[in-house]
Amino acid sequence: MRLPFYFTTSVTTKLSDEQVKAVLYDNSITDNGKTSKDKKVTAWNKEQFEGTQKNYLYRARIKQKNFKLYRIPEDSVGGKPSNSFNPLCFGKIYQRSDGCTIKLTFRSAIFVLFFMAIWTSGALFGILGIFIHSLNQSKYQDALLALVFAVPFCLGFWLFDKFGFKKEVDRTLFFFESIGLTKNGR
């Protein structure tokens, strides 16, 4: 079973680790959007995805064999992710004889994970408390009602993960494909 708001995968490419870092650097914002390279990346993003009405502008922090990547909201090039489902992507580059493997780990921001843990725990303990109290009072109808309330809550949590977070992960994986960091690319 996969943890909610957490996803891992790997991407293989024929590029060397230095080439992978160069491609990431050339196709993402790295200097708060103020340098000519970052302005060029912003213009490329608008031109590339103008018809889709989607933003694939990413900010990257690249170190030795690691990088951190996240999508930037349309209006704030220097800002932090404002979409709660916008995952942080942590990558680790492994050199191989025929290219590289990039291990990707996606997770939500710590605040979102903390909020979801508190919200989920509170709701589940509340529902469980009502259920146990209702059984002790022999109010079986109330106990059943507490279980009925648990179903949409769990379904909503699953929908947030599946159609919010996972959709953003797929968008980031598409970004990797669009800049050529896949087995077939480059």
**Per-residue pLDDT tens over the stretch 100-114:** 999 999 988 888 778
pTM value?
Answer: 0.75
Digit-coded pLDDT (tens) for 12-69 = 999 999 999 998 888 888 766 667 777 777 777 777 666 665 666 888 889 989 999 9
Domain count, the chain: 1
State the residue range of the domain holding 87.
1-186
How would DSSP label each residue in 92-151? Answer: EEEEETTEEEEEEEEE--HHHHHHHHHHHHHHHHHHHHHHHHHHHTT-HHHHHHHHHHHH
- The reported pLDDT for the residue numbered 148 is 84
CB 55 within 8 A of CB 73: yes
In angstroms, the CA 140 to CA 136 distance is 9
CB 68 within 8 A of CB 60: yes
Amino acid at 130: I
